[in-house]
Amino acid sequence: MSPRTPGAGLPEHPDRLWRNPDPKRAYDVVIVGGGGHGLATAHYLAKNHGITDVAVLEKGWLAGGNMARNTAIIRSNYLWDESAGIYEHALRLWEGLTEELDYPLQFSQRGVLNLAHNLQDVREGVRRVEANRLNGVDAEWLGAEQVKEVCPIVDVSPDVRYPVLGATYQPRAGIAKHDHVAWGLARSADAAGVDIIQNCEVTGVRLAGGRVVGVETTLGPIAAGKVALCAAGHTSVLAAMAGLELPLQSRPLQALVSELLEPVHPTVVMSNTVHAYVSQAHKGELVMGTGVDAYNSYTRRGAFHLIEEQMSAALELFPVFARAHVLRTWAGIVDISPDASPVVGLTPVGNLYLNCGWGTGGFKATPGVGWVYAHTIAHDTPHPLAAPFSLDRFTTGALVDEHGAAAVAH
């Protein structure tokens, strides 16, 4: 069977996708996971490295996992040099991605405020602003009244349960429409000749001589020169099929949206102390996120008490939301590494590559990690921005500990 004609366009219905894999066909690269990271990797393999003999395998529908279940916030104001490097690279790509993909991503640089409610928050925020500036990341420290100027609906009165003492502010941060991002990347990869195969769950990894040579799927075996894992929340399960145990925990991460409202919220507001973050989507619904659940799970349902606590905190900060109604809630599954930073790079198993452990940071990194992961796969050596996030840091001790240093660290 020959590859599909490049640029033919994604099939309108999943039933029209390739359903009978040819076991004699071997792809140069098979990417497991058809979400934002998998599609971005395929896009940059083709664009930057001319590698188009690629298959993206998705067990459900295209971008139907965490890509469809995130709060769409984009920022790069991380503390450590390593984190700032990869997230700032991603943000700079975001700033030109609409033109690059020739697709309306609705990328809106409305800024992000990270609120400080106590002295320790203030100290951490000022420290992070200075670290950001040293790394060329735009950052400012705002007092309470300046916070009010940026976001008039925030309650900054001193006698509330969580008084706002100030905030860090990154003006270039913002939001994008996640489904548009997925389709923009998918269209680009498809136009280059990449096969995107939905309803194709990987059930096993084929090994020969200590190296990966392909995967077993619900549609049959697929041979591969290289296999790149990009399945948020499930990478440890896939890696175990190749005999590789990963130091990851998978947990539900919940969020919700309100009914449609008139424009009232001009920016993104995050609070680590109360674990709530709020923005307003392009259509008008409020988008609210909270912290991860405390238990490990592969289900996309979380504990209701977290939503209650999130709503309580949000109403303290935004009394104007008191009459808004919840439209729907959902949960994604995030994989969390010991230092709350991603794992990107090579593995002890030949031809097998990892992109996982992003926790709550996956969406904002989408084009940046696609770029560095494609480089790592193409050259079989880590991209300089990905090198600090190698798997072996958990044995060498060279951790990138953003767990208590990244504004909202879950």
In the chain, ranges of CATH 3.30.9.10 domains: 109-172+249-336
CATH of 109-172+249-336, one of 3.40.1080.10, 2.40.50.180, 3.30.9.10, 3.30.1490.20: 3.30.9.10
Q: What is the mean pLDDT of the chain?
A: 91
Q: Where in the chain is the domain with CATH 3.50.50.60?
A: 23-68+179-247+338-396
Q: Nearest-CA neighbor of 271 among 293, 253, 295, 288? A: 288
What pLDDT, on a 0 to 100 scale, did the predictor assign at position 143? 98
Q: Flag whether pLDDT at 344 surpasses 80.
A: yes
- pLDDT number for residue 19: 44
The yes-or-no verdict on residue 287 having pLDDT over 60 is yes
Q: How many whole angstroms separate alpha carbon 141 and alpha carbon 124?
A: 11
Q: Give mean pLDDT, residues 106-134.
A: 96
**pLDDT band at 20, cuts 50/70/90?**
low
Query: Do residues 110 and 172 lie in contact, with contact meaning Cβ atoms separated by under 8 Å?
Result: no
Would you state the pLDDT for residue 402?
83
pLDDT at residue 24, as a whole number: 63
Q: What is the mean pLDDT of residues 59-73?
A: 91
* Residue 286 clears pLDDT 80, i.e. is over it: yes
Q: Looking at the domain covering 23-68+179-247+338-396, what would its CATH class be? A: alpha beta
Is residue 409's pLDDT more than 90?
no
Quick one: average pLDDT of 269-294? Answer: 90
Residue 264 predicted with pLDDT over 70: yes
Split at pLDDT 50, 70, 90, the class of 14 is very low
